[in-house]
């Protein structure tokens, strides 16, 4: 992925627990060049840290379902990814196939050109069709914000809510830009509190994650999961009070 990392100052607010932070992360395994061995290693990372989910390529769903069975880590996959230009029927079929394979979460890409052209009804109807095909599974709608102006974004977010999506999501991570603080704030202002926000693209540090969480993001697509959570573990250790009693004094 070529999206630049998000720059954020060192976080100086309260820190979440490791478990809380891990449950904000969808560990991303979507790069087209990943081998099966690399996917397996990524699934081990998700298991080690007990992330909210993994987001894998459609061809890897069966592998992920088997590897993560009983772990509490959900398996997610993508529809119309990464360009969003497939027909609605194709997106519906892909969603149904992924659900049949055991996917619990669906991240779908909208038809970006239709939204840019003002055909909001088409976008809403397509999202609604995918939500129906998902049969109650969590649907996250990817807008690829780098290609949209604020008016188009807001119209799309409202359409996603009206269509029954659980999340609005910033980007695929494969466009010229990814998540931004301004977009997270716009998303939060636009959709109702029950619609959650997923930030993806450039979220590679703990500081970026915590800043975007402050603005309203509740889930994060990340490849740097281990680095983010290891940094949090170190900061929590630094902030912990000394053990009671400390070392015994000699004398």
Residue positions annotated with a catalytic role: 107, 169, 198
Tell me the DSSP string of 27-45. EEE--TT--HHHHHHHHHH
Q: Half-sphere exposure (CA, 13 Å, Cβ side) for 37?
A: 0
Rounded to 10 degrees, the C-alpha dihedral 99/174/200/187 comes to -100
- State yes or no: cis peptide before 82, omega within 30 of 0: yes
Listed as own residue / partner, the contacts of 120-129 with beta carbons closer than 8 Å and 24 or more positions apart are 120/155, 120/156, 120/159, 123/156, 123/159, 124/159, 124/160, 124/162, 124/163, 125/88, 125/163, 126/88, 126/91, 127/159, 127/160, 127/163, 127/164, 127/165, 128/162, 128/163, 128/164, 129/88, 129/91, 129/92
Nearest-angstrom CA–CA distance, 114 and 170 = 17
* 2 phi and psi angles, rounded to 5 deg: -105, 0
């Amino acid at each position: 992925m070529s999206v630049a990392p998000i720059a954020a100052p060192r976080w100086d607010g309260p820190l979440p627990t490791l478990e809380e932070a891990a449950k904000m992360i969808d560990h991303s395994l979507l790069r087209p060049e990943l081998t099966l061995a690399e996917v397996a290693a990524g699934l081990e990372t998700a298991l080690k840290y007990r992330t909210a989910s993994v987001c894998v390529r459609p061809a890897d769903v069966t592998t992920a379902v088997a590897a993560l069975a009983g772990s509490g880590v959900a398996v997610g996959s993508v529809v119309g990814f990464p360009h969003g230009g497939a027909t609605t029927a194709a997106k519906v079929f892909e969603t149904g196939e992924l659900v049949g394979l055991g996917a619990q979460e669906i991240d779908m890409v909208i038809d970006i050109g239709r939204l840019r052209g003002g055909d909001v009804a088409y976008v809403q109807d397509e999202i609604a069709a995918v939500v129906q095909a998902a049969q109650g599974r969590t649907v996250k709608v990817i807008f690829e914000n780098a290609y949209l102006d604020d008016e188009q974004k807001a119209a799309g977010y409202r359409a996603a809510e009206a269509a029954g999506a659980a999340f609005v999501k910033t980007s695929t991570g494969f466009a010229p830009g990814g998540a931004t603080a301004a977009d997270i704030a716009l998303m939060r202002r636009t959709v109702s509190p029950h619609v959650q926000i997923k930030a993806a693209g450039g979220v590679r540090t703990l500081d970026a994650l915590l800043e975007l969480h402050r603005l309203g993001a509740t889930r994060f697509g990340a490849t740097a999961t281990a680095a983010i959570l290891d940094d949090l573990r170190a900061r929590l250790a630094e902030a912990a009070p000394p053990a009671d009693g400390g070392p015994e004094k000699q004398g």
